[in-house]
Structure 1
Amino acid sequence: MLPVSVSQPSALTTPKPINNQIQPKPVPQVVNQGQGSWFTIKVNPGDTLSTIFSRHGLGVSKLYSLINSGPEGKSLADIRPGQSLEVYTFKGKLEKVRFVRNKLESILFTATTDSYHAEKIKLKPNVRAKVVSGKINHSLFLAGRKAGLSHKMTMQLANIFAWDVDFALDIRKGDSFKVVYEEKYLEGEKIGEGNILAAEFNNRGEAFTAINYTDSDGANDFYSPEGRSMRKAFIRTPVEFSRISSRFSLGRKHPVLNRIRAHKGVDYAAPRGTPIRAAGKGKVIFAGRKGGYGKVVILQHGEQYSTLYAHMNRIGKGIRVGLRVKQGDVIGAVGSTGLATGPHLHYEFRVSGVHKDPLKVKLPKAMPIARKELANFKQQAKSMLSLLKNAENTAIALKQE
């Protein structure tokens, strides 16, 4: 395997609380309070509340009282391995129970005369911008890992540019990327990652830049620095495939019929059962068997565009004529029904009824950013572009959630 060359991630200083706000400290494992004490119970695989209470002698009657104290009590039924219960007993009585969902969310139950009072506790992390960059010698995921990106973050990066870059076919050695994303800290400890705020991807000498923006209505999307949506009306590839087994051609020899027959689509070889996704928002106008196509779904996208998905192993559950689907919805699974020599998706793209090469057709863009949002967006974009430009030495505290 070829080595991956990446530039080092930018160094960040240890984050500090913003606005001098002090975070509440979690309950320690053992805290003596007179004759009472706190102790922590880790939830193990196979544990239930009943087995936990029995094992620690907390009393079944207390368990019922806790569960029936309200909606928060009933949520204890969802307790999972890895979570914990912090329990305070005083003179042998169960006085407090703290259900720790995660590092930020917990519920504190305090004993009353005949039940328990529940209080939700939600801590707010400090959020900082982390900037990393990398160069690809083999694959985006190897380069991302070398740069310090998690698999989830690398997937986010690929999804942002999926309308402009085919990450299965277009990636070349020497392509590069820069990413500005959120890291979340609590009391100086990193506890997770947030969203990508801005990214740049250089593919075959062409640079693509995306800025994350949430408008005044709360809608979130990625835009170019000029305010054009990174999202297209159609995704280029509607299935995760291993290779293209047949391209668009008007003079191709059919592998089953053994004669020249125009191939008005692209065949994506993929394992049987691989999910097939709608290339764009539209309406199902056909779902069923169609001659040599085998099991087929055809979508209509407005008045001008339609897409066809053939040789399915199965049509997606609930997919029927008249159903409206969103871009990315699963509409079926890869198979080899009809005239097919092996499992693959045959995909066609039509404009006003005329077949176009799905790999080369110019895809229509989604709506640009609203005019009323443009000034605010430009200001935010300027800040993010500065971070991308100074990727090797930039660190900044952003906000507290």
Structure 2
Amino acid sequence: MFNNDSQRHATLRKAAGKFPRRHLALAASTLLALGLSLLFLPGENAEAKRTAIPLNLELTPVAAIENETEEDVAAAPPVKAPEPEWSKVEVRPGDSLSSIFSRANLTPQELHEVLTTAPKAKALNKIQPGQTIAFQVDDDGALSAMSYQVDKLQSLVFERGVAGFTTTEVREKPEVRQRVASATITTSLYRAANEAGVSQNIIMELANIFGGVLDFVYDVRKDDFFIVIYEELYLHGEKLGSGQILAAQYFNQGRSFQAYRYIDAEGEVDYFSETGESMRKAFLRAPLDFTRISSRFDPKRLHPVFKTVRPHRGVDYAAPRGTPVYAAGDGRVIKSGYSKPNGNYVFIKHGEAYITKYLHLHKRAVGQGERVRQRETIGWVGSTGYATGPHLHYEFLVNGVHRNPATIVDKLPPPTRVGKSEMPDFLAQISGLQLQLRTYAAQRNYAADSGQG
């Protein structure tokens, strides 16, 4: 076929030139591997005990090596060093920051650096038993970061920076679930709500919302009924507590009061009736919560100390010593002091026409000239002055004339309302809650009529 060897070689070179370089490189690699393996094949006269040497050669095509660039090397993901572990220390009764740092094998100098350079480090002075503080140290054992869990939703993380420690506030967002509770009152609102599984915070807020239309000391009666729709907060399946009351209804002696939470166009939050009237009246019907009236307004009352007929120009609320006393409305403290008959007392002026008086306080929380807001604590129930036991004596004056605190509120100017332009939005916000209240009220009435409630 070929005349001589030179002609054969020339033909082979011409044929090889038709193949791409990468194919030739692969072929060369394959031949090389085959040749190496033949070198180690045992011959016929080889000893039976000769040990074979395994070869695990991973051959990279020549073309691939030639085409690899610096960009390819740079694009390779860097090897990440493992992050140092956090060690946790639980705060024990009697612990101080110094003792906690000592248990974590950290120095007083490191504690001083955190306290003097980290923003919000003052929060560490409020540590409580049961809380946890986590520490992270570097390879030399020096503090690099620490985390303080303020509560179940908030943590402060302090990290070492160039000029001391920085602070990052971490907040978790809880899951919000809606809950409905209802109860019939047999003895008191507090007991009925508590038996229905309603938290104390929700009970107090319920009284706050209806405090302008109901005196929960004087007005509450057996067989009153309430429904409350409110939020409960959960984190990772664990219940954290209660959120906001969304709507509530109270049935009192044939009357019904409804309240709905509404956020207006300016972002202000308040509670309104179904007609858009604010539940927040100018004055509370009672300046303290969940107590009982021991003496009502009576101009011909026999004085309990002097045993003489003296006008009783106010209402006495019997309550345990230390019960908070609230300002009945916004105003300015015109007197705050002590006298032999009144004991510790506070007088508040509301506008030009109204004055409220609070007597026999155990302690006073405000001084003369201070501005106060409705439901702000102004003192605590006591028995100072001419008093036979711990109670609050409460008076209400209109233009200098004593009026019955239990009835005067109804005769005062009406409260604010939802603006006319916002009424469509208000009604849209509360429509679903209205339906829920009607549904639960109907279920309760059906159960009561059928003897199930």
Task: Report the TM-score range of the alignment, normalised by the length of the smaller protein.
Answer: 0.7 to 0.9
**In structure 2, C-alpha distance between the alignment counterparts of 1:240 and 1:139, rounded to whole Å:** 11
What amino acid is the match of 2:399? S
Cα deviation 1:54-76 (Å, max 9, x = unaligned): 11223444333333442144543
CA contact (8 A) 1:253 1:260 kept: yes
2:408 pairs with 361, 372, 375, which one? Answer: 361
Aligned to 1:200: 249
2:110 pairs with 40, 56, 62, which one? Answer: 62
Aligned to 1:9: none
Aligned to 1:282: 331
What amino acid is the match of 2:187? H
Closer, same or farther: CA 146–269 of 1 in aligned 2, 3 Å: closer
Question: How far apart are 1:194 and its partner, in Å?
Answer: 1.2
**In structure 1, C-alpha distance between the alignment counterparts of 2:174 and 2:164, rounded to whole Å:** 32
Question: How far apart are 1:142 and its partner, in Å?
Answer: 2.7
CA contact (8 A) 2:84 2:138 kept: yes
1:119 aligns with 2:190: no
Question: How far apart are 1:203 and its partner, in Å?
Answer: 1.7
Moved more, 281-290 or 45-54: 281-290
Aligned to 2:207: 158
Aligned to 2:237: 188
Cα deviation 1:114-172 (Å, max 9, x = unaligned): 74443322222232222222222333223222322111111111221122222223323
Aligned to 1:346: 393
User: For 1:117-156, what aligned pairs fall within 5 Å after superposition?
Assistant: 117-156=166-205
Bigger helix fraction: 2
Moved more, 187-196 or 332-341: 332-341
Closer, same or farther: CA 38–368 of 1 in aligned 2, 3 Å: same
Closer, same or farther: CA 113–285 of 1 in aligned 2, 3 Å: closer
Normalized against structure 2, the TM-score is what? 0.69
State the SS of the aligned residue for 1:213. Answer: strand
2:278 pairs with 212, 217, 229, which one? Answer: 229
Question: How far apart are 1:101 and its partner, in Å?
Answer: 1.9
What amino acid is the match of 1:349? F
Closer, same or farther: CA 96–260 of 1 in aligned 2, 3 Å: closer
1:43 pairs with 82, 91, 96, which one? Answer: 91
Cα deviation 1:248-306 (Å, max 9, x = unaligned): 23333444554444333223334555544322222344455679656654433223333
Normalized against structure 1, the TM-score is what? 0.77
Bigger strand fraction: 1
**In structure 2, C-alpha distance between the alignment counterparts of 1:102 and 1:252, rounded to whole Å:** 52
Aligned to 1:88: 136
Closer, same or farther: CA 254–67 of 1 in aligned 2, 3 Å: closer
CA contact (8 A) 2:301 2:311 kept: yes
Aligned to 2:351: 302
User: For 1:241-320, what aligned pairs fall within 5 Å after superposition?
Assistant: 243-256=292-305, 258-271=307-320, 274-287=323-336, 296-312=345-361, 316-320=364-368
Larger Rg: 2
Aligned to 1:79: 127
Cα deviation 1:320-349 (Å, max 9, x = unaligned): 2x5433223344454556655555433322
Closer, same or farther: CA 71–146 of 1 in aligned 2, 3 Å: same
Question: How far apart are 1:234 and its partner, in Å?
Answer: 1.0
CA contact (8 A) 1:132 1:391 kept: no
Aligned to 1:5: none
Question: How far apart are 1:210 and its partner, in Å?
Answer: 0.6
Aligned to 1:15: none
Cα deviation 1:336-381 (Å, max 9, x = unaligned): 5665555543332233343322222343343222334322222111
Question: How far apart are 1:230 and its partner, in Å?
Answer: 0.8
2:375 pairs with 306, 323, 328, which one? Answer: 328
**In structure 2, C-alpha distance between the alignment counterparts of 1:118 and 1:284, rounded to whole Å:** 41
Question: How far apart are 1:35 and its partner, in Å?
Answer: 8.5
Closer, same or farther: CA 182–341 of 1 in aligned 2, 3 Å: closer
CA contact (8 A) 1:250 1:262 kept: yes
List gaps (5 residues or longer) in structure 2.
1-80, 442-453
Aligned to 1:26: none
Moved more, 46-55 or 94-103: 94-103
1:178 aligns with 2:227: yes
What amino acid is the match of 1:324? R
What amino acid is the match of 1:47? D
Moved more, 143-152 or 194-203: 143-152
List gaps (5 residues or longer) in structure 1.
1-32, 393-401
**In structure 1, C-alpha distance between the alignment counterparts of 2:165 and 2:384, rounded to whole Å:** 60
Closer, same or farther: CA 337–150 of 1 in aligned 2, 3 Å: closer
| Superposition CA RMSD, Å | 3.1
**In structure 2, C-alpha distance between the alignment counterparts of 1:230 and 1:107, rounded to whole Å:** 38
CA contact (8 A) 2:218 2:293 kept: no
Closer, same or farther: CA 328–77 of 1 in aligned 2, 3 Å: closer
